[in-house]
Structure formats: structure tokens, C-alpha cells
Structure 1
Amino acid sequence: MLFFTFTVVGELGYSWEIALGAVFLSGILFVIMSVTNLRKWMLESIPLNLRIAMGCGVGLFVGFIGLKSGGLIVSNEATFLSLGNFAQIETLLSALGFLIISILAVRKVPGAIILGVLIITLIGIIIGLIEFNGLVSVPPSIAPTFLKMDILGALDVAMISIIFSFLFVNLFDTAGTLLGVANRANLVNKDGEIIDIDKALKADSSSSVVGTFFGCSPVTSYVESSAGVEAGGRTGLTAVIVGIFFLISIFFSPLASIIPTFATAGALIYVAILMLSGMEKLNWSEITELLPALIIIVMIPLTFSIANGIALGFIAYITLKVFTGGITNISYGAWFLTLIFVSKFIFL
């Protein structure tokens, strides 16, 4: 996590052990919120339009990451962004990957996303863009980071804002990802609430604590999980199998590392477009709920933060409701979340 590495350790000068201690403490708070159903109550208090927007915003974020990693868009000092250089073969392969996946998906070929990634990787190997560095390797020792978090060092008044920053980012990054992925997997009820969300929340929060034992910065749900959903994953068994393959891949890291970003970029862009289809479910007739929803969708990728995009949308939602006579329609949960968001911008 950038905040862990560049802010807490880099700018603020704390050791990585103390930073891990802060992650551990934020994880404990995370678990308490999940076990007591406080987190579930918060998520279910989110208005339907904003829930839909969170999923779409995550989709746009995934697409932005795909376009950037594939070189299809590049930074530009004058215009912020500009079109990538299609004279570079990597950029062309990124676009080709997207087209291959799209064609295979339209023709209902099973495993279209995986096949697209493998085809582009194979092309990269054939034309010499990818160097084969072997098949197997011995995993590095975990001894240098195992159980190295400094919890006592993190129990300092000066660390309070850092602990809550970890908690805030983890809470709402995960919330946005869960809502986005669950919508694409049709794992929501008629009210837009995630079915059996308490199980997902408990698993997610406990992993944040366990991850610190091995020296991990905050463990969270990845937006790229949406690619797995589009490939057919629907149950917890999918995550278990993926986890098993991750463990096995530790011994095959040279093989796994040959898959380049330009091979996966097309998959991310394809999944992003599918996730944006949720915008048709927005209530376009109620402007006080539509504008905050659109703010969330746009600001998640522009701020490069799911949490900040959601925060700006909630603040806009409360403001519009209060000054247009809709204050009675605001739930207690929405008030509570907005208070947290405002406090975050002021104090953290």
C-alpha cells in the first residue's frame, strides 16, 4: 500500500515494524466492527443509487488501471492524460488482447479472459518481448518479516491518526470492491444488498490481522477480482482454489512472472466495460441521488482511490438532501458515514 510505504515509513519516518503494528491494531478494530455487525449496518445504510455507483466507479477504476498499464493512455503535463504510442508493440498487444477477449466472449467461448491473456503472452514470447527465466525456484525465507510487527511501538498517541487512516482506507476500499464485484456476480438481493455479506466481512477483516504476522501491509479485496467473476467465479470455493494456486505458484514464480502487464491490460479493460453496465440501474429521475452517484463514479478513478471517491459522493449526497428539503430521507447510517468522511478529510 502506498500510504504504508511512502507516507508512514517514508515521509513520517516510522519503522516498518511500527507501521505493521499500526496495521495490526487497525485490523483488530476492523474485526470488532465486522463481528458486531457495525460494518454490515454501515454498508446496508448506503442508498441504493450510491451502492450501484460504487460498483460502477470500481469498474471505471479497473478500466483506468488497464488502460494505464497497457500503455493505451499515458501521463501528459499539458493535458493530464493523452493517447499512448501505438508505434510501441506493447501498446498494440494491449489493444489486441482486449479485442481477442471481446471476440471470444461474444462467441461465448469458455475462459475467454484467460485465453486472451495466454494468447498475448505467447505472442510476446514468440517476438522476444518476454524473457523466459526458468520454471521453478525456491521461495525466499519469511523469517525477516515473520512476527516482526511492533505493537507496543504503535500504541502511541501520535499513531492514532495513522491507525484510523489504515482502518478508513481498508474499510471503504473493501466496501466499494465488494459491492462492485457482488453486483457483477448477481450476489445481491432486490434491494441491492449483498447476500451473506457478514461472511465476506469477517473473512476480510480477519485477514488484515493475520497478514501482519507475515509482514504484509493491509490485506484488502482487489478490484481485479472482478475478472474472476467474469470468468465464472461465484462462490467461496473460487477463492479457496485461487488461494491454493497462489501457494503453488510460490514455487513457480519465474513462470508466473513472465505474464506481462500488456497481456492483462485487455482483460481489465473488458471487465471494466461490463461493470459500467450497472449505470443503467441508476435512478436518473432523482437528481439529489443521481449527482452524488455520478460524483462517486467519476472521482474514484480520478483520485485513484475508492475510499476518497465514495467520501466525496456521500458528502455531496447529504448536502443536496439537506438543502433541497430531503433531510428526512437520510438514514442514520448515511449521517454516520458522512461524519466519518468529513472527519477523515479534516483530521487525517
Structure 2
Amino acid sequence: MLDKYFKLKENKTNVRTEVVAGITTFMTMAYILAVNPLILGDTGMDKGAVFTATAVSAAVATIVMALLAKLPFALAPGMGLNAFFTYTVCFGMGHSWEFALTAVFLEGIIFILLTAFNIRELIIKAIPNNVKHAISVGIGLFIAFIGLKNAGIIVSNEATFVSLGSIMDFKASGAPFVALITIIITGALLALRVKGALLIGILIGTILGFPFGITHLPETFDMTPPSVAPVFAKFQWSDIFTMDMLLVLFTFLFVDMFDTVGTLIGVSTKANMLDKEGRIPRVKQALFADSIGTAFGALMGTSTVTTYVESASGVAEGGRTGLTSLTTGVLFLLALFLSPLFLMVPAAATAPALVLVGAMMITPITKINLEDYTEMIPVFLTIIMMPLTFSIAEGIVFGMLSYVLIKLISGKVKDVTPVMYILAVLFVLKFFI
């Protein structure tokens, strides 16, 4: 039944591979269950309710992706978008969390409409193939950077922005050392082609964390999920026609749209899912899952739900169908009742998986034409700006805007489609908003 529905043989995979891939994806993104309540909780939202909203919205959106699009992508409230929700909309602009939640809900409704009219699909088709390959490479550097940062291997530095962390200073933290050891062990497992290498690496990192004091047994094993009532459907409709709402809504729309587009393209490229014309299979259904997830997530009481770049870890384990994402979605539901166990896994154990997946995702660079400067420069800007701005969306902006401008100035006007011109104008407007 599973083989027939998800076409496992056709995609050269099997149930075991898909399930292991789904578990791996979940383990690399389960941190959102701990982080999202902390970030949104700063606004005054009930943290327990946000935990439940996060788990349920991630589960529903990912299962919709599995059953509707049949693709190995997982979804959850997005990092960066939750920070914008809290620290810009609520703290910076002085709005209530109910105002921000209303903006997220409206964003989801608008995205459903844009997807229904094929506008988001049109944008994906308009992106040149070389830039699509560059998005995969850029995401690889970006998630490796996230992994190194989460493990404390690299840290912020006022003089040089980033620097090497205290790897051997066990009094400060054993996390960087544990992460480095886990990277080496997991890398060896990958070299030996051990099935489930990334997941095994996460488990090894968790065990290594005990003597270094970074893995802790749960203080309580209370399995009762907190009530979602304090944040469920708490919308504020009185300010929806204000300029502030328009500004907030535009920012949510822009960042989420190009984060999602970038993730879908990047992970699909790595998985060799793109057809000869660079199209993602069932992309409309995937975008519907993303849109439904955002609207449903807001209803539950959490920030924007988006497709997760950590899905690449499951793809790296061989995940190719919706059975991978179905597994991840089911695990999010189980997390409601087993949260103490899932939250026990430290960042130092999951960070190595992100670093190694980042390494795997740079392989499409071999498909990029680096001889033509009108192609190479936009590709380079796409790649380099993702980790440096800590944003997939900003990398796409710099890459596509430079693509249009350089092509125009160099006289290669025919290489630029009408959709690309429209996007370029929108990108320019973004800098002034």
C-alpha cells in the first residue's frame, strides 16, 4: 500500500530508507519545539500553549505535504520569521502579539490565493537554472554555518564578526568539542556508506554529551501536552487596514515566499528531483501545503510555518517521497507526549548533521557555468549572501537582481524573462520599505 501510494520503487527507495530519513529530518529540526516557545514567549504568549501550537502545526503541515505533494519536505514555524514576529513587530513597533498573529494568518490566506492562481509556481519557473543550482550551494553553506554556530564552534566577535569558539575550554562548554568529535565519527560513517549515518551520529553525540554536561536527563516525564487555549485564534481585527499592518504583512510575505522557494529548489536540486527544464514535481501541491501550514499555524497560535531547510538531512539519508515527511509529521505528534525525551537531545548532537548536509549540498556547483560572467557573478552573490545575511531570501534577492542588471547592461536582454523583470522591481522596492 505504501509502495503504491508513494511510488517507492519508482523513486528507487524503500520503507526503511524513507522512515530513517524522516526520523533524521525530525531530529535535526526538533530544536524548534524548544526554541519557538522561548522566542514567542518573550511577547507574553503562554510558552506551554506555544509548544503545543508549534508541534501540532508542524505535524499537520508536514503531513499535508506528505499526502498532497508526496515530497520529502518537512514544515514548522520558521526561525527568523519568529524573531521578526517578536523582536520587530512586538518589541520594535510596539504591537501586541495578537496583532502579529493576525498578520501571519492573513499572510497564509494570501499565499493560498497566490498558489491557487499559480503565481508562486510562476516565480519558481522564472528562476534561471544556474541560479537554482546556486541556491542549493548557498543553502549548503547557510545550514553548515547554522550548525557550526549552534554547536559553539564559531561564535560572534565584535572585531571580526565571527571567530573560532573555545573548543578545548571544557569549563565554558564541552559542546564545541562534542560536535567536532561527532562530525568526524558521522563523516566516517558516511564514508563507509552506513545506512542512517546522520541519525546514528545524532544519537552518538547525545550520548557523548553526558560526561561533558551538555546532555541532561529530563527533570520530569510528564507526558500531558499543555493546552493551546491561551493562544488559539487570538486575532486582532481592529488594525488590519493600517499602514503598519501592510508593512508587517509585506515583510512576512516576502521573507516566507523566498525562503520557501529557495528551500524547495535547493533541496530538490540536491535530490536530483528537478526535470530537464528545472521544474520541481508537484510544486503547486507543495506550495499549498506551505500556505495551509501558515494559516493553520496562526490559528493554533504560532508564527509563520514554512518549509524547513533541515529537510535536506532526510534527503541526504535517501528520502525521496512523502513517506519521509509523513514519518516526520507523525514524530511531531508523538513529541506532544514525549517532549522530555526529544528535548533532551543537545544542539551539539544535531549540529554535525547540519554541517555534513551542508557539505553534501554544494555538489550542484559542478553543474554551474562559471565561464560566463553574466551567470557566474549572480551565482556567486546568491551563494555568498545566504550565510552572510543569515537569510535564504536575501541571497535570492541579491542573486536575481544582479542577474537582471548584469544581463541588461551587457546586452543579453533575451536571457531575462518578463517575470524576472517584475521580480527585480519588487526587489528594488523592498530595499526602500
TM-score class, shorter: over 0.9
For residue 285 of structure 1, the aligned residue among 359, 363, 371 is 371
Q: What amino acid does structure 2 have at the position aligned with 1:41?
A: L
Counterpart residue number, 1:195 = 281
Counterpart residue number, 1:122 = 207
Counterpart residue number, 2:99 = 18
Residue range with higher mean Cα deviation, 305-314 or 79-88: 79-88
Separation (CA, whole Å) in 1 of partners of 2:379 and 2:212: 45
Deviations 1:275-324 (A, max 9, x none): 01111111112110110111010001100111111111112111111111
Structure 1, gaps ≥5 residues long:
none
Are the counterparts in 1 of residues 378 and 402 from structure 2 also a CA contact under 8 Å? yes
Deviation of residue 164 (structure 1)? Answer: 1.1
Deviation of residue 126 (structure 1)? Answer: 4.4
Mapping of 1:197-236 within 5 angstroms?
Answer: 197-236=283-322
Counterpart residue number, 2:46 = none
Separation (CA, whole Å) in 1 of partners of 2:389 and 2:310: 18
Q: Check 1:345–1:135 CA distance in 2 against 1; reply closer, same or farther (3 A cut).
A: same
Are the counterparts in 2 of residues 21 and 152 from structure 1 also a CA contact under 8 Å? no
Are the counterparts in 2 of residues 23 and 212 from structure 1 also a CA contact under 8 Å? yes
State the secondary structure of the residue aligned to 1:285. coil
Q: What amino acid does structure 2 have at the position aligned with 1:26?
A: E
Residue range with higher mean Cα deviation, 211-220 or 189-198: 189-198
Deviations 1:137-157 (A, max 9, x none): 211110000111223432323
State the secondary structure of the residue aligned to 1:208. helix
Counterpart residue number, 1:62 = 143
Counterpart residue number, 1:325 = 411
Counterpart residue number, 1:264 = 350
Separation (CA, whole Å) in 2 of partners of 1:157 and 1:175: 27
Deviation of residue 96 (structure 1)? Answer: 1.0
For residue 334 of structure 1, the aligned residue among 416, 420, 432 is 420
1:34 counterpart = 2:115: yes
Structure 2, gaps ≥5 residues long:
1-81
Misfit runs of 4+, over 6 Å:
none
Q: CA RMSD in A?
A: 1.3
Are the counterparts in 1 of residues 143 and 358 from structure 2 also a CA contact under 8 Å? yes
1:101 counterpart = 2:182: no
Separation (CA, whole Å) in 2 of partners of 1:265 and 1:290: 30
Counterpart residue number, 2:88 = 7
For residue 149 of structure 1, the aligned residue among 221, 225, 235 is 235
The alignment's TM-score, normalised by the length of structure 1, stands at: 0.97
Separation (CA, whole Å) in 2 of partners of 1:307 and 1:188: 20
Deviation of residue 245 (structure 1)? Answer: 1.1
Are the counterparts in 2 of residues 149 and 215 from structure 1 also a CA contact under 8 Å? no
Are the counterparts in 2 of residues 132 and 258 from structure 1 also a CA contact under 8 Å? yes
Separation (CA, whole Å) in 2 of partners of 1:235 and 1:192: 18
Mapping of 1:162-173 within 5 angstroms?
Answer: 162-173=248-259
Separation (CA, whole Å) in 1 of partners of 2:370 and 2:215: 47
- Alignment length (residue pairs): 347
Counterpart residue number, 1:76 = 157
Deviations 1:94-126 (A, max 9, x none): 011111111111111110000001011012124
1:297 counterpart = 2:383: yes
Residue range with higher mean Cα deviation, 128-137 or 263-272: 128-137
1:175 counterpart = 2:261: yes
Separation (CA, whole Å) in 2 of partners of 1:57 and 1:151: 39
Separation (CA, whole Å) in 2 of partners of 1:40 and 1:204: 13
Deviations 1:220-258 (A, max 9, x none): 111111111112221112112211111111111111111
Q: What amino acid does structure 2 have at the position aligned with 1:24?
A: F
Separation (CA, whole Å) in 1 of partners of 2:243 and 2:150: 39
State the secondary structure of the residue aligned to 1:74. strand
Are the counterparts in 2 of residues 101 and 115 from structure 1 also a CA contact under 8 Å? yes
Percent same amino acid at aligned positions? 42
Separation (CA, whole Å) in 1 of partners of 2:140 and 2:356: 10
Counterpart residue number, 2:43 = none
Counterpart residue number, 1:87 = 168
Separation (CA, whole Å) in 1 of partners of 2:123 and 2:214: 48
Are the counterparts in 2 of residues 49 and 283 from structure 1 also a CA contact under 8 Å? yes
State the secondary structure of the residue aligned to 2:350. helix
Are the counterparts in 2 of residues 19 and 154 from structure 1 also a CA contact under 8 Å? no
Separation (CA, whole Å) in 2 of partners of 1:37 and 1:65: 32
Separation (CA, whole Å) in 2 of partners of 1:334 and 1:12: 32
Separation (CA, whole Å) in 2 of partners of 1:263 and 1:136: 24
Separation (CA, whole Å) in 1 of partners of 2:391 and 2:362: 17
Separation (CA, whole Å) in 1 of partners of 2:241 and 2:230: 23
Deviations 1:163-198 (A, max 9, x none): 111111110000111111111222111222212211
Q: What amino acid does structure 1 have at the position aligned with 2:216?
A: E
Separation (CA, whole Å) in 1 of partners of 2:241 and 2:327: 37
